[in-house]
Each structure stands twice: as C-alpha cells, then as structure tokens.
Structure 1
Amino acid sequence: MSPGRTGAGRASRTRGPGSTRGYGVTRWGRAFVDVVEGAGSGEPDRRRITQARRYFRDRHAHRLHIGAASVSASVRGSQLDPFDVTLTMRAVDAGTVVDLLRHRDAAGDLMTLTRGEQPTALGELLLPTESADIAADCTCPDEAPRCIHVLCVAYEVAAEIDRNPTTLLTVMGTDLSELLDAASRRSGDDRFGTEDDTAAAPVIDFYGTHATLPPLPAPPPMNPLMDLDGDALRSALRASGISPADVGETLDTLDLLYTRLRDN
C-alpha cells in the first residue's frame, strides 16, 4: 500500500472574503458523510451535526492526515487544548474489488477514475456502507459515538474526496496503483486459463415454473441537493437576499429539510 498523505495543505488555504466551504458536494463525498452521520441507522444527532458543520466552516480542524484506512486530525473545541481525532476504516481488499468489478463488467471504472470521475460501481465497492465500517476515537469527554470533533474531521475528509476522488481509495486502505496491479494480474490469469474456466456456469431459467429470481436492487439513499446545479442554487439564494457568508448555513438547512422529508 502507498504511504499516507497529508491533506492539511489544501484544507488550510486562505479563502477570499465571503467565500464558503463545502463538503459532500459529490456523490462519493456525500455517501461518506451519510455513513459517518449515521444515515439509515436511526435519527442522526442534529445538534451535534449543526455544530460540527460550523466547526468545519470555521476551520477548527488542523493537521489533517489521510493515510491507508486511517485519518487523524486535531480539532479546536470548547477547551484550551485541541482534541485529537482518529478515524479507522475497515480496509478493502484490492483483489476482491477488482474481481467484483470484473463480475459486474465494470473493470473500466478504474480508467474512469484516472480521469477524475467517480464511477458508480467502483464507489459502491469502496465506500463504507454502515457506521461499523468506520471506528472513531476522540480525546474529548463526549461519549457519543460521533462527537462534534469526529463529525468535523469527517467533513474535512469528504471535502478532500470531493476535490480528488482517489482520496477515497487511500481512506479505504488501497490506492490506484494497487488496484491496477491487481487488474493486470487477473488479466494474466485469464490469458493462461484457470481451473474455473472448466466449471460449467449455472443455468437459471427466469421464465420457468421454478424460476429463481435475482434479488431486488438496493438503491442508495437519494439526496435532492446532489441533483441541483450548485452554482445556480447559490446564485438563487444570493438573489433572494441571503448574504454570501450565510449561503453555506442555508444549504445545510435545506439539506436537513430534505433529509427529514426523505426519512419520514
């Protein structure tokens, strides 16, 4: 695996007056945030989420380091000394990811990723799907599984994923070169043949009296904000009289309302 990289350099760049920070503006970034916030596993703690979003916008996180299946940072909170946060992900296996991509006839997703895109099939295999996939630890006294400081660091990670999709690979314990190497080895095995080549593929009669139907698909949770033109939405909000400094908080409020509509 490749050594970890530090994302703090990009995360700490000075922004101009009135600029706002965003995270989860791509599907991969949003999916990562949804899992950390606990989407789909009960009612998320909106008070902590709201405060963590303010921490993110006000740049309370420092020394962000994204390594293989591990993220660390320090976050300024209510006390004099910052709190140390560590996120540990359940790492994926590169060979298994490549095998599943080939099974889905989606091996081309790896090349799509090199163009800076976020292919659907690869994202489904890489992204965490439940809160247990991400272990969090913070030195603050809050005993909640997702304290304000943990959420703030998760938003920083999502922002890095938004900027560079290959960050998700590092977060989940692999990298592009490892996946490409695994794909190359699998292609070599196919060229020389394997024992599986002689195995007869099962025949499934979907239209017979004893048909075995495929399982129903499990669509990912939808987020209406993701389907809107972000620039147009921000322009509309500013035209309605909202100051540029409040646009980020207004988008958070809209996200909360859409989440309540979806969950209820």
Structure 2
Amino acid sequence: MARRTGSAPVRGYGLTSWGRAFAAVFESGADHRHLTGARRYFRDHHVDRLEFGRGEITASVRGSQLDPFEVILTPRPLDPQTVVDLLRRTGDVEALLAVARGEQPAPLGELIAPTESADVASACTCPDEAPRCIHALAVAFELSAQIDKQPTTLLRILGTDLPDLLAAVRGRAASPAPHRSGEVSVAPDADFYGDGVRLPAAPSFSRVEALAELNAAALRTALRVSGLGATQLAEALDDLAELYAALHDPR
C-alpha cells in the first residue's frame, strides 16, 4: 500500500492505560453516531480553551452552529491522604516516584482512574439530551490524549496533583534524627512503608573526599577513550570537582 505524503498525522487518544481508562467511561453507553462525531471533532481540533484545574474541566467546542458550545466536566475528587493510605496498605507508595518519572504505574492507576460513567459528570450548552453529547465526548478524548502525554494530567483532573500526594507521604513520615556534622544517620523508628514495621537504624558513616580517593589516571583514560580532547577533559574534571563540592556542602 502506497504511503501518503504531505498529510498531517492522525491524532490518537487512549494510547496508554490511564488515557484509555478515562476515555472508556465516556465511550461506555455512547452510540455510534456520537462517538464518530466526537472523534472527528477531536481529530480536527474542534476543542478550544481547554482548562482543567482542581476538579473541574471547561472547554469550548466548535460544533454545527456559529457559536461554540461550552462544556463542563466534573470528576469525583480524590483525597490525597486517602490515596496515600491505600498505597501504603498495599506497599505501593513508590508508585508516586514512577509518576514523577513520567510513567503510569498500575497500582496507582487502579486507585484513581475512573471506572464508571458516574465518576465524571458532564454538562454542555448544546440541546442534545444524550447522556454524553458529541461535545463532551470530544473534550474527554482531548483530555485522554493529554493524559497519554503527561500522567500527572489525570491527577490534576481529579482535583489533586503529585506534590499534594508527596506532601501526604511526608506528613506521615518520621522526622529525621539530628546528626553530627559530617555524618549521615536515619531515624531508628522511621516507618518507611506504613506497615508498622520499625527498621533498625542505619549505621552512621563519615563523609570522604571522593576526588582524593579517586584514581585520576584511570578516570582520564576512560574519558579520553570517549573522544574528549585535552581541553574538554580538563573541563570535565573541573565540573566533577564542583559537583562533589556541592554534594558535600549543598548550601
């Protein structure tokens, strides 16, 4: 089959698990005519002024009339502390770190992603009395595409954000024990995973001057193999020294 040239790429949505879950609660129950029309609106960029904040999404959709229709989606809000408590219960708190890396961890998705139509209410200024009009569906598909690109979009849609969840985690963590300058220690009774198990204290250790212990000749050889010139090699060593100094004294 000949490949077409010069045409714009076809837009897609629901390409990831979280994006699919959000779109599915809208597609469920919608008839073929509404779905086809909404997908065409999405594909042709008919959704304008899309704004989503704390638990409410608004957008304008250009339809069959001169003036655009206004759409409001209202998802059931999430409580950050409840989400964190559930993650602790299953030992999946580290899923939040995966979100920070741009991933969509399944344990968190199972907790927060909408699963039924009632999880996201919709309203539109169009006269269509269908449970999901074409315009609301188009907005949902637009949001699904944004969730595909950035997982934290789903958190914001549901009225929270990654910083809120991380703050909830920190709120339950033990305060670090004071330590002497030059040593690193961990609170002996820190409850890292929320399962009530108290871990033994980590051993204290003194900081070392890493560059003083470094085999500089071996490092130069390794960097030279990478193709660095003499000037770049010196700059790399200077940068490394600055990084170690910043780690030693983060002020």
Task: State how far apart, in whole Å, the 1-side matches of 2:34 and 2:123 are.
Answer: 16
Task: State how far apart, in whole Å, the 2-side matches of 1:54 and 1:61 are.
Answer: 11
The Cα shift of 1:187 comes to 2.1
Choose the corresponding residue for 1:159, options 145, 154, 165. Answer: 145
Other-structure match for 1:235: none
Runs of 5+ consecutive residues of structure 1 not aligned to the other structure = 1-15, 198-264
Deviating above 6 A after TM superposition, structure 1's stretches of 4 or more consecutive aligned residues are none
Choose the corresponding residue for 1:29, options 15, 19, 23. Answer: 19
| C-alpha RMSD of the superposition | 2.0
Task: State how far apart, in whole Å, the 1-side matches of 2:79 and 2:155 are.
Answer: 11
Cα-to-partner distance string for 1:206-253 (whole Å, 9 max, x where unaligned): xxxxxxxxxxxxxxxxxxxxxxxxxxxxxxxxxxxxxxxxxxxxxxxx
Runs of 5+ consecutive residues of structure 2 not aligned to the other structure = 1-5, 176-188, 197-251
- Letter of the 1:173 partner, please give it: G
1:178 aligns with 2:168: no
Other-structure match for 1:140: 126
Whether contact under 8 Å (2:34, 2:134) holds in the other structure is: yes
1:52 aligns with 2:42: no
Cα-to-partner distance string for 1:58-109 (whole Å, 9 max, x where unaligned): 1111001111111110001111110000000100100000000111110000
Task: State how far apart, in whole Å, the 2-side matches of 1:161 and 1:171 are.
Answer: 9
The Cα shift of 1:119 comes to 0.1
Other-structure match for 1:107: 93
Instruction: Look up the SS of the partner of 1:86 in the other structure.
Output: strand
Other-structure match for 2:116: 130
Other-structure match for 1:18: 8
Task: State how far apart, in whole Å, the 2-side matches of 1:71 and 1:158 are.
Answer: 13
Other-structure match for 2:204: none
Other-structure match for 1:169: 155
Other-structure match for 1:90: 76
Q: State the TM-score, normalized to the length of structure 2.
A: 0.67
Instruction: Look up the SS of the partner of 1:91 in the other structure.
Output: coil
The Cα shift of 1:188 comes to 2.6
Task: State how far apart, in whole Å, the 2-side matches of 1:36 and 1:180 are.
Answer: 30
Whether contact under 8 Å (2:81, 2:165) holds in the other structure is: yes
Task: State how far apart, in whole Å, the 2-side matches of 1:155 and 1:182 are.
Answer: 30
Looking at CA atoms only, which structure, 1 or 2, has the larger radius of gyration? 2
Instruction: Look up the SS of the partner of 1:59 in the other structure.
Output: coil
Task: State how far apart, in whole Å, the 2-side matches of 1:70 and 1:36 are.
Answer: 16
- Letter of the 1:164 partner, please give it: Q
Task: State how far apart, in whole Å, the 1-side matches of 2:30 and 2:126 are.
Answer: 20
Instruction: Look up the SS of the partner of 1:64 in the other structure.
Output: strand
Other-structure match for 2:67: 81
Task: State how far apart, in whole Å, the 1-side matches of 2:30 and 2:8 are.
Answer: 30
Task: State how far apart, in whole Å, the 2-side matches of 1:104 and 1:129 are.
Answer: 20
Q: State the TM-score, normalized to the length of structure 1.
A: 0.64
